[in-house]
Amino acid sequence: MEMLPGIYRWIHIMAGVMWVGLLYYFNFVQVAALKAAQADSTAAGITKHVAPRALFFFRWSALVTWLAGAALLSSNFVAAFTFQAGFQKIGIGAWLGTIMLLNVWGLIWPNQKKILGLVQATDEQKNKARRIAFLASRTNTALSIPMLFFMVAQTHIPM
Amino acid sequence: MKNPLDSLWGTVIAGLILTVILYYITKVIIGG
């Protein structure tokens, strides 16, 4: 039983690396690659074979990261989310991570399903979905910067 | 005005600015 917090932290970090790693892949690599691929008509390689696989691991690693983080907080869960003394820094990180998770499951994935043709959508709906998914993904990239700072800050950056 | 999130580096800079803002807010909350 005394190993559990360490195990939760291990899972939290592994899943978090996969989640944020894929988020950075989408934003730092795939957006620009897709633009170039559309110009020479090779985008299908990415949209058909790469994006669905990347999105699968992206959305599930996001959920596992959050659940392992919640398990790690354990009885301090409420203290963190209500910014109790000693938990303000991890509280900010936890809130940012939660907003990011909601963005993944509430905005990015439902709109990506339209873009990738997994659900029926008109061209107009697809264009709108593309913009929403893009902005939600960029928002998560921006939020990941303070989120990671405050995760580290809880024990390593004095304030 | 252009949306900074349309640019990759605008996104990174927005994240860094948000980090600084939240750092000072948290510092006030903690009372440091």
The reply to whether residue B5 touches residue A144, judged by beta carbons under 8 angstroms, is: no
**DSSP string over A9-55:** HHHHHHHHHHHHHHHHIIIIIIHHHHHHHHHTT-HHIIIIIIHHHHH
What whole-number distance in Å separates Cα of residue A123 and Cα of residue A142? 29
Question: Would the CB atoms of B5 and A142 count as touching at under 8 Å?
Answer: yes
Q: Of B13, B26, B2, whose CA–CA distance to A86 is shortest?
A: B26
Mean pLDDT by 10-residue block, N- to C-terminus, for chain A (159 residues)?
94 98 98 95 94 97 98 97 96 98 98 94 97 98 98 93
What's the pLDDT score for residue A112?
96
pLDDT score of B32? 58
Mutate to test the interface with A, among B7, B8, B22, B24 (most CBs of A within 10 A): B22
CB nearest to B11's CB, from A27, A92, A146 = A27
Q: Does A139 touch chain B (CB under 8 A)?
A: yes
pLDDT of residue A110: 98
The alpha-carbon gap from B2 to the nearest alpha carbon of chain A, in Å, equals 13
- pLDDT 10s digits, B1-32: 899 999 999 999 999 999 999 999 999 999 85
- The residue ranges of every structural domain in chain A are 4-156
ipTM of this complex: 0.95
